[in-house]
Amino acid sequence: MVPDPEALVGRLLEVEVSALCDADKSLPVVDHEIHAMVPDVRFAGPALTVVAEDDHLPVLSALAQARAGDVLVVAGNGHRKAVLGELFATEARRRGVAGVVIDGFCRDVAGLRRVGLPVFARGTLPMSGATVARAPIGTPVRCGGVEVGPDAIVFGDDDGVVIAPPAQVLAALDTAEAIGRAERAMLDRMAGGTPLADLTNWAEHVARLDAGDTSALAFRVDGG
């Protein structure tokens, strides 16, 4: 069954990227050097891919085609000039773009914070490139070590970005939601004074490890 993208995105926005990664440790995670330029963000949506190598015209062209809810995924392919700044981020926000992930650099970081659009990049540089490239839009690219097809789902928060096929994301979601519920319950118990170790099998786990046995740390929300 093909997942409904809108329903999938809605559920993703209720969990954390870390919970999804705990649910499926094989999910493709973008290079950690591609990080949030704007803090306290969470976004998800289908990928709209483009290649921009020291030239930001392809990004403007992609924005002209973007639909509300898309996540712009920009492959810089090792080039280093900024391909997005405050003007482009403002246009992305105006069009309803959910976020931007750049395997490369951006600029106008103070302006990006004012716009509030989730933008991830390797960093900021004040110098931009040319405006002449006519790169294809919506074709497979490589971003932060992850192969990104036009049907991929992009999901990010301050911890990082996952890009994966919708079916793989959907398969992990039930478990991710259960992990989120368990973690919230544990935080509530800890706020009431319960030690974290008492919410796990810690004592049994370390005893088995010390005895040379195989064991796994388990979290027990009920403290049992």
Q: What per-residue confidence (pLDDT) applies to 222?
A: 60
Structural domain spans, the chain: 5-167
The average pLDDT across 5-18 equals 95
Does position 216 have pLDDT exceeding 70, yes or no?
yes
Tokens in use for 28?
């493709």
- CATH (residue range 5-167): 3.50.30.40
Q: What per-residue confidence (pLDDT) applies to 4?
A: 83
Q: What per-residue confidence (pLDDT) applies to 32?
A: 97
Task: Determine how many CB atoms are found less than 10 A away from the CB of residue 111.
Answer: 13
Helices (H), 35-136: 57-65, 86-95, 109-115
Does position 224 have pLDDT exceeding 80, yes or no?
no
Distance CA 182, CA 51 (A): 40
User: What average pLDDT does the structure give for the chain?
Assistant: 95
Does position 60 have pLDDT exceeding 60, yes or no?
yes
pTM of the model: 0.93
Q: Which DSSP letter does residue 128 get?
A: B
Q: What per-residue confidence (pLDDT) applies to 92?
A: 98
Helices (H), the chain: 5-12, 17-23, 57-65, 86-95, 109-115, 166-191, 202-210
CA distances from 189 to 19, 216, 222 (A): 19, 22, 9
Phi, psi of 187 (to 5 degrees): -60, -40
Edge-to-edge strand list for the sheet holding 71-75: 35-36, 119-121, 99-103, 71-75, 42-51, 153-157, 160-164
